[in-house]
Structure 1
Amino acid sequence: MELSFNREAMTEALQRIVGAAEKRLTMPILGNVRVRPDDTGGMRLETTDLELAWSAHAAGNIPAECDTTVSVRKLLDVVKAAPGESEIRASLDAERMSVGFGGSRFSLATLPGADFPDWEAGGIVAAVDVPQNRLRRLLEATMFSMAQQDVRYYLQGLLLVATGHTLRAVATDGHRLALAEIELDQAVDNRIERIVPRKAVAELKRNLTDDDQAVRIGFAEDQMVFELGSAILRSKVIEGRFPDYERVIPADLPATLVVEREVLKRALARVSIVASDKYRGVRMVLGPAGCQVMTHNADREEAQEAVEASYDGPEMEIGFNLGYLQDVLNVIETDSVRIGLRDGNSSILIQAEPPGGARYVVMPMRL
């Protein structure tokens, strides 16, 4: 059985879908890519780890009866090793795929395509189209606040909320919260919410471009479906009740600090030199003179920075996780940021200046 495909087209398709392949290989076939004919001509390539699945099209010649699987990472490495714009030929014989170009030949083990998990999404209850660049920005503005490891499994994902003409993304790890939203061209009839797992969010973001080509987002009963042209990402959703994030966002904050984003970023970067590796705490002292940031460590080393800022509240000291503040400043795009405060023991609200767009809540820490 003979196959042929272009190096560039196959490399692009395999690089898109490789992230869904299982690395631990609890089942050997989960480290493979399924190769079979596409309904529209060419090849259909599929990978999955049973929680997440990629499907992508690649141009090529493939027999109608072909249905096999081969290690996706090995096939990708072989294809990338071929000279640019090469036409690569492959043949299937018993339990092997032979791949060749120029004077190079590779023999890779295969498993039957019929044994590959067949996962199709169904029951789409709502779908919206979003430009890739806007969706990418939405993810970048929020995904850093997802929990890394937490027994509250629903925090290890990103909440997507579609309602009316708005698509909202919310992430929290219990100590900080990020909320951003974009406008939809078409309205969603009913409010719909799904928690997308961390790996699916990372895979989606990795494959989004900075152009305005549309992504179709499908909300199914227990899945999310993202269509990027001829490629489709499917993900199971996290079951559970996401925290009532709207109650977490503080309102009517009496004190306001307005500071240039880069100035504060550089100040935090400098004091981080002596910050404790374990606690990463920084103290902000606010008063008529503006803002000072300071930190110390177990060796009694200290760092202090005076930050030029506008502050209109009472004198106050408040401590934060240094990394949490830096993460927010890295995703806000305006020259200045506005920080709303109540007292030294309450959460703060960070926004762009002038206010608008994403909102970030950071809880204080005792130092």
Structure 2
Amino acid sequence: MKISIERGVLLKAVGQAQSVVERRNTIPILANVLIEAEGEQISFRATDLDIEVVDRAPAQVERPGATTVSAVLLHEIVRKLPDGALVQLADDPRTGRLSVTAGRSSFALATLPREDFPVMASSEYSANFSAKAGELKRLFEKSKFAISTEETRYYLNGVYMHVAEGEEGRALRCVATDGHRLARVDTALPAGAEEMAGVIVPRKTVNELRKLLDDDDMDIAVSVSETKLRFATPDITLTSKVIDGTFPDYTRVIPAGNTKRLEVDASEFARAVDRVATVSSEKSRAVKLVLEEDRLVLSVNAPDAGAAEEELVVAYGDERLEIGFNAKYLLEIASQVDRENAVFMFNASGDPALVREGNDTSAVYVVMPMRV
């Protein structure tokens, strides 16, 4: 194999692939990226056996071929090469080395046989559809903060993507929860997704997916089966196993009878929560909300450090209410609100609160209260 490729193009392609590779693994080949050159393009394939990413880029292929080399090492070398450099990659079967040359810089990297590289088995996908990158990004970005990190509840370690009945007909829905907060985000159901099986997309896959969704107007081809799912652009294909488990019935925890309505400027609210929470060093910092007519008082009382209080002018017309929440959870939910105002719906001090963006019900959040 011998190819020439522009440094920026190579860096982007290798960067996507190397991020999938697990830094610590006991199988040497899994630390490598499979480089395949043929025709007028080169592809980089990396896997951790649960996720596989293939990134394709245009290149001048003088001699087709394939080899595997350390993904992290290759990425580090390319990252440190000067902008605009023309990089040559050439493997030498006699020495078992891949030479990387750019200008006066040259490197010789150890390789492993391409035959040893595991390729994820192809799957029969039961649903195939296309969605705009911007819509998929919104679904996953707005829900992923609520993914559980508790490994024993593995079925909550991802985003549940499924078809559901939304406010305006059937919708493609993403839900995540850790038992303390919940995010439910809908978008219009794409053609072809009607028969899609509900799947739990792992946290790592959700994070890797962000890199495919840069261009909001790009069409992303999505394929789903009961065990795998695939997202593809013309240049990148991301294939992932799904979490083998049953997502709980989240609809039971979304309150339907909350009538006390608070409307507040989302960014102003977030800044106030952040300020009053400063006096507490506890991870589960509880912020107390006292609601009266058109007035919200936020307070934190940390016996060891001190106390803080801030008052906000809000739209609220119901009876007085005192309720406490984890400061971190309030900040995370407030940061999801793209519109100017966040709407909180309360019932009583011991009941979960429902949060949405203005009157938009396509994104709904639930947060459990704390005793304060």
The TM-score normalised by the length of structure 1 is: 0.94
How much has 1:156 moved relative to structure 2?
0.7
Partners of 1:162 and 1:41 lie apart in 2 by: 40
- Matched to 1:242, the amino acid is F
Partners of 1:190 and 1:277 lie apart in 2 by: 46
Q: Does the 8 Å CA contact 1:136/1:210 hold for their aligned counterparts?
A: no
**Structure 2 counterpart of 1:75:** 74
**Structure 2 counterpart of 1:34:** 34
Change over 3 Å in CA distance of 1:35–1:355 after alignment to 2: closer
Partners of 2:266 and 2:179 lie apart in 1 by: 25
- Matched to 1:221, the amino acid is E
Q: Does the 8 Å CA contact 1:282/1:322 hold for their aligned counterparts?
A: yes
**Structure 1 counterpart of 2:157:** 156
- Matched to 1:21, the amino acid is V
- Partner of 1:356, secondary structure, is strand
How much has 1:64 moved relative to structure 2?
6.7
How much has 1:62 moved relative to structure 2?
4.2
**Structure 1 counterpart of 2:59:** 60
Partners of 2:319 and 2:203 lie apart in 1 by: 40
1:1-20 counterparts in 2 under 5 A? 1-20=1-20
Partners of 2:51 and 2:196 lie apart in 1 by: 24
Change over 3 Å in CA distance of 1:355–1:208 after alignment to 2: closer
How much has 1:252 moved relative to structure 2?
2.0
- Matched to 2:18, the amino acid is V
- Partner of 1:46, secondary structure, is strand
**Structure 1 counterpart of 2:218:** 213
The TM-score normalised by the length of structure 2 is: 0.93
**Identity of aligned pairs, percent?**
34
- Structure 2 counterpart of 1:243, from 237, 244, 248: 248
- Matched to 1:205, the amino acid is R
- Structure 2 counterpart of 1:338, from 335, 338, 343: 343
Partners of 1:76 and 1:263 lie apart in 2 by: 41
- Partner of 1:13, secondary structure, is helix
1:211-290 counterparts in 2 under 5 A? 211-288=216-293, 290=295
**Structure 2 counterpart of 1:358:** 363
- Partner of 1:358, secondary structure, is strand
In the alignment, structure 2 segments of 5+ residues that lack a partner are none
- Partner of 2:79, secondary structure, is helix
Partners of 1:60 and 1:289 lie apart in 2 by: 63
- Partner of 1:188, secondary structure, is coil
Q: Does the 8 Å CA contact 2:53/2:238 hold for their aligned counterparts?
A: yes
**Structure 2 counterpart of 1:91:** 90
In the alignment, structure 1 segments of 5+ residues that lack a partner are none
Deviations 1:88-126 (A, max 9, x none): 223222321111121111011100111011113311000
- Structure 1 counterpart of 2:331, from 311, 326, 332: 326
- Matched to 2:248, the amino acid is P
Change over 3 Å in CA distance of 1:10–1:25 after alignment to 2: same
Deviations 1:137-183 (A, max 9, x none): 22111110001233110111001113585211100011100000111
Partners of 2:360 and 2:109 lie apart in 1 by: 56
Partners of 1:278 and 1:77 lie apart in 2 by: 36
- Structure 2 counterpart of 1:190, from 176, 190, 195: 195
Q: Does the 8 Å CA contact 2:352/2:366 hold for their aligned counterparts?
A: yes
Q: Does the 8 Å CA contact 2:294/2:317 hold for their aligned counterparts?
A: no
Deviations 1:30-82 (A, max 9, x none): 111101135x6421210011111100112224477622100112112222333
How much has 1:221 moved relative to structure 2?
2.5
Q: Does the 8 Å CA contact 2:3/2:62 hold for their aligned counterparts?
A: yes
Deviations 1:14-40 (A, max 9, x none): 1122211121032111111101135x6
Q: Does the 8 Å CA contact 2:280/2:302 hold for their aligned counterparts?
A: yes
Partners of 2:90 and 2:245 lie apart in 1 by: 47
1:296 equivalent to 2:301? Answer yes
**Structure 2 counterpart of 1:48:** 47
Q: Does the 8 Å CA contact 1:33/1:47 hold for their aligned counterparts?
A: yes
Partners of 2:315 and 2:287 lie apart in 1 by: 19
- Matched to 1:45, the amino acid is F
Q: Does the 8 Å CA contact 2:44/2:54 hold for their aligned counterparts?
A: yes
How much has 1:322 moved relative to structure 2?
0.5
**Structure 2 counterpart of 1:125:** 126
**Structure 2 counterpart of 1:176:** 181
- Partner of 1:282, secondary structure, is strand
Q: Does the 8 Å CA contact 1:128/1:184 hold for their aligned counterparts?
A: no
- Partner of 2:22, secondary structure, is coil
**Structure 2 counterpart of 1:144:** 145
- Partner of 1:151, secondary structure, is helix
Change over 3 Å in CA distance of 1:106–1:155 after alignment to 2: same
Partners of 1:360 and 1:135 lie apart in 2 by: 18
Partners of 2:218 and 2:210 lie apart in 1 by: 14
